[in-house]
Structure 1
Amino acid sequence: VLLALLPGEIGGTIIPVPDEPKNVRIVLPPPISATGKVTIAGRPISEYPGNVRIYAGYEGLGKLDQYLSIDTTANRDGAFSLEGLTPGRYTVQAALDNIWLSKGVKFNVTADSERKQLKLDIPEPGAGTIIELQNAKGAPLPNRSLNVHEPDGPITRILHPRIYNTDGKGAVWIAGLTAGPHRISVSESGTQSDINVPPLSEKSGSPRRVVVKVPNSGEN
């Protein structure tokens, strides 16, 4: 196939390439854009230092998705613009300093769709957290895998691993969680546990330590 687009201005058109291409005619879609605003914990992003990234991930065309996606930065008032959208399905997500993430917002784009107005909110940034896995007797569980349930979206898939592995002391350090409750799952045992991450503003100089008991760990 052949993909043609004007990045930042006009979205893409995909056409099959004939076996013996001669005169290939390409018709680009009309200019399509969307605007929006991002906040942090419901407040203006200007109250927080750092950059806010906006990523609109195209979905449905496999390896071509990355070329039709749009990566931009919000202004200091939180406003952003997505120019050169391609008709199809997108999920847009915001990130503060590529660490703390908003939920992904899905929207469909058509050639005659009205200009989209998107709203994104990044929850309060949370402090770094050390999660320690222990068996029922309090012994550490090294080399175990755990999953932290995070909002799905294109930035989550790019930057945040799905699985974290504990070290030789049964611990793993996780940065980038927003403040509030989070659920973790221990892969080998299926154990689930809820942890609470404090706001970054309350950080006392060392990461928060959370102990998770894994009763059916298979170790005595």
Structure 2
Amino acid sequence: MDRELYIPRSWTSDPARWRAAGLNQDTVFATKPELAVRFLDAGHHVAGSRATRSTAATKLRSALEERQAGYVLAVARSAEVTTAAGKFRADALAAKVPRQTWQKLSAGAGAKGHRFYDWAVIDLAEARPGSHRLLICRNRTTGELASYHCFSPVPAPLATLVRVAGSRWRVEETFQAGKGLAGLDEHQVRRYTSWSRWVTLAMLAHAFLSLVRADEYARHPAQDELIPLTCNEI
């Protein structure tokens, strides 16, 4: 577990301001993808990342590939990708997927059961080594599309890519729980030192609740008609 604070460029370009905020004098502006690369350099796992068409996002993908770390990064439907047949927008490729190619798979369990979507995967033509693919998710009710750029050192099964893409919901739920149960978002962020301490304690409190919940479930599994205890109940 770790944390980083995104500092706006207007702060890092104002020495008086970052000194008043308690930032180190070697603090420089970094985009969120660049902060993710710092986690990689420190040996941390990066989860729940959303890529954009920016240069910083390209650097994040390159950093992951250099470390032979597979990824599933969400991209805009308008993002252009290259296949053996040429360059296409992600949503245009989705429209070309044959009906029989879509597979109904769960992106993970939610509050109301498994989240089922239709999924398809398309091989991309990349000069870089490894397996590069475009994963497309289609809402079974609304038809809304979501696209993911995927990389793995060797080709990964569709079910694996779907499981990784679905982990983003768990990340979002973790943020919501950290805010609601441990006050993760209640710091005013006026000085860096106090922010760092606040977030660290909030993360520790949430981790404690999660461990107690897991231990309680291992010792006293819920009855068949009941769901396991939640962190809120703990």
TM normalised by structure 2 equals 0.20
Q: Higher helix fraction: Structure 1 or Structure 2?
A: 2
- Higher relative CO (Cα under 8 Å, sequence separation at least 6) belongs to 1
Q: Higher strand fraction: Structure 1 or Structure 2?
A: 1
Give the number of the structure whose alpha-carbon radius of gyration is greater. Answer: 1
TM normalised by structure 1 equals 0.21
